[in-house]
Structure formats: structure tokens, C-alpha cells
Amino acid sequence: MKTLLILRHAKSSWKDEELDDHERPLNKRGLNDAPRMGEVIKEHDLVPEYILSSSAVRAHLTAELAAEQCGYEGEIGGGRELYSFASADYLDALEKVDDGYSRVMVVGHNPGLEELAEWLTGVYTSLPTATLAVLRLDIEHWSELEEGGVGEMVQVFRPREL
């Protein structure tokens, strides 16, 4: 049994329209919501053993702030390949995760993350910014991820509902 935490990046700033999309930072709300989701992770005893994140500034900062707040002390993996809006790219990265990790968190972008959650569980779940979805996966190895049936949506935490 594995647990997958899916965290969509927190709210980003559109203040500087000259910035490349990859470089957009978090806005004030995002800077508040990202650590708040880290608190939720800690409160629900969901601290990941490994974190994968998109290299986009807004996603990586979300990962860092949540990780710091929940007490995660490991490295944050991932990179440019997770600056993606396609579920297949997240799936490819997850299938390569070391099987020694039982609880992994991925931080990234929609629609890829919503599609990933739906692909694994068979149920569509809306993931607004800074939303955390917790999936229980009936697998022993990350390479066993497959469409439908292997995942169950256990809980969804949306910042505005906390």
C-alpha cells in the first residue's frame, strides 16, 4: 500500500505580465496558503517521505513552504520535466520513485494533477490552487501505477474550506 499526496501549487501572482510563466512567484494568498497546507499535512500525520515538484517558481516555493511547515527534511526532487500540464509526465516521474518510500507528495499544475488523480481513482476531483488530495494506492511498487482501480481518494483539503 502506498500513499500519494497531490498538492497543486498555491495562488500565483500575475502582477508582472513580462515574467515568463515558469518564473511567476506566489502572491500574498499563495504565501499564506502554502504553509497552511503544510500544517494540515502535519496535523493529519501525512508528512511525506519524498517530495517531487515542478521547477516552476510558484510550484517549487509551494513545495518548500509546505515541506518546512510540516517538518519534512528531505530533498525536493523533480524538476523541469514536472513543469507540465499533462498527467503522463507526473505518472512517468512517480513510476520511477524508489519503492522504499511509502508516502510521496507531488507538487505541480492543472490540468495534469486533476487528470492524474482521476486516472488513478476513476473519479474526477477539482483541485483549486493549494488544494491537497490524499490518495491511497493499492500497489507495492510505484511502477504498478495504472488507470482506475489502484487508487482511492481518501481526503481533499481545500484552503478556503479549512
- The CATH code of the domain that includes 109 is 3.40.50.1240
pLDDT for 54? 97
Number of structural domains the chain divides into: 1
pLDDT of residue 150: 82
At 14, the pLDDT band (50, 70, 90 cuts) reads confident
17: confidence class by pLDDT, cuts 50, 70, 90: confident
Question: Taking Cα atoms as reference points, which of 57, 58, 41, 30 lies closest to residue 6?
Answer: 41
Checking if the pLDDT of 148 tops 80, the result is no
Q: Which long-range contacts (CB under 8 A, 24 or more apart) does 133-136 make?
A: 133/5, 133/6, 133/7, 133/157, 134/3, 134/4, 134/5, 134/44, 134/46, 135/3, 135/4, 135/5, 135/6, 136/1, 136/2, 136/3
Q: Which of 162, 110, 109, 158 is nearest to 134 (CA)?
A: 158
Question: What average pLDDT does range 100-124 have in this prediction?
Answer: 96
Per-residue confidence band for 60, with pLDDT thresholds at 50, 70 and 90: very high
This model's pTM is above 0.75? yes
Which residue segment(s) compose the domain that 129 sits in?
2-161
Q: Which three cell numbers stand for residue 43?
A: 496535523
What pLDDT, on a 0 to 100 scale, did the predictor assign at position 71? 98
pLDDT for position 16: 82
For the chain, the distance separating the N- and C-terminal CA atoms, rounded to the nearest angstrom, is: 28
Cis bond before residue 111 (omega within 30° of 0): yes
Q: Which three cell numbers stand for residue 133?
A: 488530495
